[in-house]
A and B are shown apart, each in its own frame.
Chain A
Amino acid sequence: QSALTQPASVSGSPGQSITISCTGTSSDVGGFDRVSWYQQHPGKAPKLMIYDVINRPSGVSNRFSGSKSGNTASLTISGLQAEDEADYYCSSYRRSSTYVFGTGTKVTVL
């Protein structure tokens, strides 16, 4: 059960936009609109940022947005801020009632 593929790191300057990709297969990302994204600061539990590909939970900034095309989902952070510096993980429902996470992306604000 291999993990979803994410870039190891993405960086941007304050105010810029960055996009993190999450590539899976037709058995997970491509087969279901059940991709979620999590932000994790060092030593903390993950925090839900996006669910069902495009939806933001209450309280999450509208600078965070999600999308999907085929087997690849994406998270875009616009108007990058220092507080956005963290690790980000995608997750997808996978066939047979299981789940899979992405490899994780470290976002650095320059």
Chain B
Amino acid sequence: QVQLVQSGTELRKPGASVKVSCKASGYTLTGYYMHWVRQAPGQGLEWMGVIYPNGIDRSYAQKFRGRISVTRDTSTSTVYMELGSLKSEDTAVYFCARELPESCHFDYWGQGTLVTVSS
């Protein structure tokens, strides 16, 4: 069965960076897009970016360009999202979510990773 298992809770200081992982199982990572979505405490969902099935192309929300990087390691079926220059407003739960190519919806989600940014 398809599973997306994310790394654990992170605590960072302002200005630092964080790298969250999402390990996929039950399907072939190279056949799907992987998106990242975040949710600040008590707030709504916010789309951040995506890595394409070819592992080369990416698209990021304009808000995060310049400080976000989504990468992939096919040998471990793991996708990573790194966010730099962290601010307190980046405190949120970060989700990975799978998309079948060209389907434009997210059929499986990771359990979420809480990232807290605090001095």
Identify the A interface with B (CB < 8 A). 1, 3, 32, 34, 36, 38, 40, 45-48, 51-52, 57, 89, 91, 93, 96-104
Contacts and interface: CB of A to CB of B under 8 A. Distances in A.
A63 to B, nearest CB: 19
B37 interface: yes
Nearest to B109: A45
Contacts of B62: 1, 98
Query: Most chain-B Cβ atoms within 10 A of its Cβ — which of A3, A45, A101?
Result: A45
Given A98-B59, A98-B61, A104-B44, A45 B107 contact: no
B109 A46 contact: yes
Interface of B: 35, 37, 44-47, 50, 59, 61-63, 95, 97, 103-107, 109-112
Contact of A1 (B50, B59, B61): B61
Given A45-B110, A46-B109, A97-B59, A103 B44 contact: yes
B47 A89 contact: no
Given A45-B110, A46-B95, A97-B59, A36 B44 contact: no
B107 to A, nearest CB: 5
15 contacts: A3-B46, A34-B105, A40-B45, A45-B109, A45-B110, A45-B112, A46-B95, A46-B97, A48-B106, A51-B105, A52-B105, A97-B59, A98-B62, A101-B47, A102-B44
Main secondary structure, interface of B, reads mixed
Given A46-B45, A91-B47, 14 more contacts: A34-B104, A36-B106, A46-B106, A52-B104, A57-B107, A89-B44, A89-B45, A98-B47, A98-B61, A99-B35, A99-B104, A100-B47, A101-B46, A103-B44
B106 to A, nearest CB: 6
B118 to A, nearest CB: 21
